[in-house]
Amino acid sequence: MTEERTRTEQATTVGNLFISNYPPYAYWSAEEVDSAMEVLAGRPEDAPPLGIYVHIPFCRKRCDFCYFKVYTDKNSSEIRRYLDAVIGELDAYLQQPYLAGRKPGFVYFGGGTPSYLSAEQMRGLFAELKGRVDWSEVQEVTFECEPGTLSLAKVEALKEVGVTRLSLGVENFNAEILELNNRAHRAEEIHRTHGYARDVGFEAINIDLIAGMVGETDENWAECIERTLEMNPESVTVYQMEVPYNTTIYQRMKAGGLEVAPVADWETKRRWTAEIFDRLSSAGYFQSSAYTACRGDQTRFVYRDSLWHGADMLGLGVSSFGHLGGRHYQNESSFEPYVSRVEAGQVPVARAFSLDDEERLIREFILQMKLGELELGYFQEAFGVDVLARFAAPLEQHRAAGYLEFDERTVRVTPAGLLMVDRLLPAFFLERHQGSRYV
């Protein structure tokens, strides 16, 4: 029985393990929108840092493992209408006292595929954003890219408008595996795009990889590690493959009556992740989170670190989520409802959640655990809470298992703990949030 249970726990089955927020999205509701949005009417005396997230939902193809809101069928006029809606949404927020006149510290363009836009559309979007918001304090502008969508002209445009980090969605270097997972780009486009970025002077390039794509093998993963080291990017982000419910892979599993996904098991994915981080460490990188290794002391992730330390984030675009004044919100999840509400002069929020002080504490605590080290004095100062006492039981549970180490000043996640950190975090949830599907 024990052997069978262990085998089942190691298999990749359908569902989300990755935790990006707290409480789980399943607890956000339409009923809380009005009360959550009341925060916009006030002017914060001591406002937290502010960032902006812009969702660009267009793609050439939908990857089999993708669970984000994307569209592969929109024409140029629909894209123009969407970009106008994003700016219209921003205008609606900037009329509110809570956001009027505030300066963002970071801007992040995610997708979808932001690099799907033309160079002209990129320049136009940035001009509209900068015409409305003072960017003088922006420390970081990140732009997600699918390598096959980038031309030299687009890379030059991104440098021109002020992008500071290109995040290249490489995922794997093998042409057959990319095709098997319905990834749009091909292997040769990775190196071509990387060359463009270096030629125009980008000094911060991130490479995304996925451990456990359909078809990956030990030999292929070793090759991916070598190709990554040859590119020598400033940072490398590695995700372990999951199969959320709204993916093409799950639809195939469902149609075939399969319970176990056709991808590597968790033990293998954790081993592969450990292998690449070990090699990167030997090459002079340091691990800055459970997912990311960085080269050089100057490599920072302002978006991540600000958000995980309680910053406000204004989320713009279809299905985007934001966090303002201790309130979570998420926009309409479909194209037409989102655009139509903005065009009608409305803030297009579909569901929300207002956190109490304990939920805010838990949110920041679990997200900062992903960094690998937490300073306990931060939580005492920010929340007036001794987290060693507040979380004594789960902390001891994870220390006994070899996943955490801690003293009176610091909690550290061990290398073994970082490889499976998202499995550790629910132990810190409030009881009413335990056991929920994380969607």
pLDDT digit string, tens, across residues 109-121: 999 999 999 999 9
User: CB burial class (10 A; 0-12, 13-18, 19+) of residue 34?
Assistant: exposed
> What's the confidence (pLDDT) of residue 315?
98
> What's the confidence (pLDDT) of residue 169?
97
State how far the Cα of 80 lies from the Cα of 74, in Å rounded to an integer. 10
Q: What is the pTM of this model?
A: 0.95
Per-residue pLDDT at 188 exceeds 60: yes
> What's the confidence (pLDDT) of residue 46?
87
> What's the confidence (pLDDT) of residue 345?
93
Q: Would you say 237 and 273 are in contact if contact means Cβ atoms under 8 Å apart?
A: no
Per-residue pLDDT at 69 exceeds 90: no
Query: What are the residues facing 165 on neighbouring strands?
Result: 142
Instruction: Name the band, by pLDDT with cuts 50, 70 and 90, for residue 4.
Output: very low
User: CB burial class (10 A; 0-12, 13-18, 19+) of residue 342?
Assistant: buried
Per-residue pLDDT at 381 exceeds 50: yes
* Average predicted confidence (pLDDT) for the chain: 94
State how far the Cα of 208 lies from the Cα of 144, in Å rounded to an integer. 10
Per-residue pLDDT at 232 exceeds 80: yes
Domain spanning 357-439: CATH 1.10.150.530: no
CATH topology for 2-307 is: pyruvate-formate lyase- activating enzyme (3.80.30)
Half-sphere exposure of 432 (CA within 13 A, CB side): 6
> What's the confidence (pLDDT) of residue 437?
56
Helix (H, G, I), strand (E, B) or coil at 162: coil
Per-residue pLDDT at 438 exceeds 90: no
Q: Would you say 70 and 127 are in contact if contact means Cβ atoms under 8 Å apart?
A: no
Higher pLDDT, 16 or 350: 350
Per-residue pLDDT at 209 exceeds 90: yes
**Percentage of residues in the chain having pLDDT higher than 90:** 91
Count helices and strands (H / E) in the chain.
18, 15
> What's the confidence (pLDDT) of residue 1?
34
> What's the confidence (pLDDT) of residue 436?
66
DSSP state of 60: S
Per-residue pLDDT at 6 exceeds 60: no
Instruction: Extract the tokens encoding 325.
Output: 């004044």
Per-residue pLDDT at 248 exceeds 90: yes
Per-residue pLDDT at 203 exceeds 80: yes
Domain positions in the chain are: 2-307, 357-439
Per-residue pLDDT at 3 exceeds 50: no
